Structure 1
Amino acid sequence: MIRKIRPALACLLLAMSLAASAAAPATPSPRAGDIPPQILGKDRQGNVVDLASQRGKVVIVTFWASWCGPCRKELPILGQLQKVIGHDALQVYAVNLKEPRADFAAIARSRKAPPLDYIHDAKGEVSDQYGIQTIPHMFIIGHDGSIAGVHRGYSEKSLPKIVDDILALLPEDVRNRKAGG
């Protein structure tokens, strides 16, 4: 009799824990004025990416996935922005959301991949810290390290306004210099 009860009890406990975790509130997404989580994981070379090392620049952290159409439209625009402005004033991190490494690597290594710094968040640890529930989801971080703007679940039509928001944070001399900084 006890042998029959144990599996049933184990199933009941598992169901209760799953229900409790589903009901648990997600980490809230950082908002304008907040200092975001500083560690984004490791880049493709295995180096830890720490946003604190980017203070003084405008930093974009965007969460994306290969299956997300708006994300795939956004990345080339951000890549061009990175190329034109240069790494001395702008740093763009594209954090891949919970995809298998092979899917992530296929895009990041592609010749057509925009020239961005890609981070693979396979287990969702970074995205969970940022409270990501929708993609695309972008954080624009100002020179002081605090979030200047947040854009989530946007379409291709929103991208010109987002680019304007980014450019507005750059010093005038950076906005007016020749491409490639």
Structure 2
Amino acid sequence: MPLDVVRNKHHRRYRGMSRFQFVLPFAVALFLLSAAHAEMPFQPGGEPPEMLGRDQSGTNVTLDDFPDRVRVVTFWASWCGPCLTEIDVMEQLAGQVPDSDLRVIAVNVHERNPVRVRRMLRRLDDPNLLYTEDRRDIIVDRYDIESIPLMMMIDHHGEIRYVHQGYGESKLDQIIEELNGLLVEQAKDRREG
């Protein structure tokens, strides 16, 4: 075989590789860019979901069940590590505020194993949080919730004020500051009203 034919064979193989090496990062960048610009299902100033799943006794839970108080709604799953960390933090925060001022509702979603969920809920059972289930992903589908954890903070007037997609320790100070701000607004309105 002449040397230039061998070179051409290798050149074709590497040329295909270089296309792949170019296309893959481009595709990944395009995906990440579209995900970053994807609209979150809930926006500050928007309407929160009315239905929040069913509690452990099978009763439908709605946002109206907790009027005139700050509400935090978080969507989570038992297999989601960041979700469980967020729930632990929310249990601690909710334990410091009277139920008449703050209600935290943790809506379980994206689960396919109800036995695992019940076992997890028994272990997580905490009086400071209300755990509900969206077993058929009705809320998830209606509001196009694609990733969890997803947390929204709703003021005592029923308006979404803050939304957090994902969870990390770096967000904790911001979450506490926002929650404190909502509780201060609520206390001020109660004094004036």
TM-score by length of 2: 0.70
SS of structure 1 residue aligned to 2:163:
strand
* Alignment gaps of 5+ in structure 1: 1-25, 175-181
Q: Distance in 1 between matches of 2:82 and 2:131?
A: 17
Q: Name the CA shift for 1:140/1:102 in 2 (closer, same or farther; >3 Å).
A: same
Q: Deviations over 1:69-107 (max 9, x none)?
A: 111111111111111102100011111112121121111
Which of residues 128, 147, 150 is equivalent to 1:137? 150
Q: Distance in 2 between matches of 1:35 and 1:89?
A: 20
Q: CA deviation at 1:40?
A: 1.1
- How many residue pairs match? The answer is 149
| 1:146 corresponding residue in structure 2 | 159
Change (3 A) 1:85 1:122: same
TM-score (norm 1): 0.74
Contact 2:148 2:165 in 1 (8 A): yes
Query: Residues 40-67 of structure 1: CA distance to partner in whole angstroms, max 9, x if unpaired?
Result: 1211122221102322111011011111
Q: For the residues of structure 2 that align with 1:168 and 1:27, how far apart are their CA atoms?
A: 25
- The structure 2 residue matched to 1:30, chosen from 42, 48, 59, is 42
Matched, 1:166 2:186: no
Structure 1 or 2, whichever has the larger Rg, is 2
For the pair 1:70 / 2:73, whether they are aligned, the reply is: no
Contact 1:97 1:122 in 2 (8 A): yes
CA distance in 2, matches of 1:109, 1:166: 27
Runs of 4+ that moved beyond 4 A: none
Q: Check the 8 A contact 2:83/2:167 in 1, yes or no.
A: no
Q: What is the CA-CA distance between 1:27 and the residue it aligns to?
A: 9.6
Query: Take 2:98 and 2:49, find their aligned partners in 1: how far apart are those partners?
Result: 24
Check 1:27–1:127 CA distance in 2 against 1; reply closer, same or farther (3 A cut).
Answer: farther
- 1:86-125 equivalences in 2 (<5 Å): 86-99=98-111, 100-110=113-123, 113-115=125-127, 116-125=129-138
Amino acid at match of 2:119: A
SS across alignment from 2:96: helix
Q: 1:129 to 1:173 in 2, by over 3 A?
A: closer
Distance 1:104 1:27 in 2: 29
Q: Report the counterpart of residue 97 of structure 2 in structure 1.
A: 85
1:28 Cα deviation after fit: 6.2
Structure 1: distance between partners of 2:77 and 2:145: 12
Q: Distance in 1 between matches of 2:79 and 2:65?
A: 31
Amino acid paired to 2:75: F
Which whole-Å CA distance do the structure 2 matches of 1:135 and 1:71 have between them?
7
Structure 2 SS opposite 1:87: coil
Structure 1 or 2: larger helix share?
2
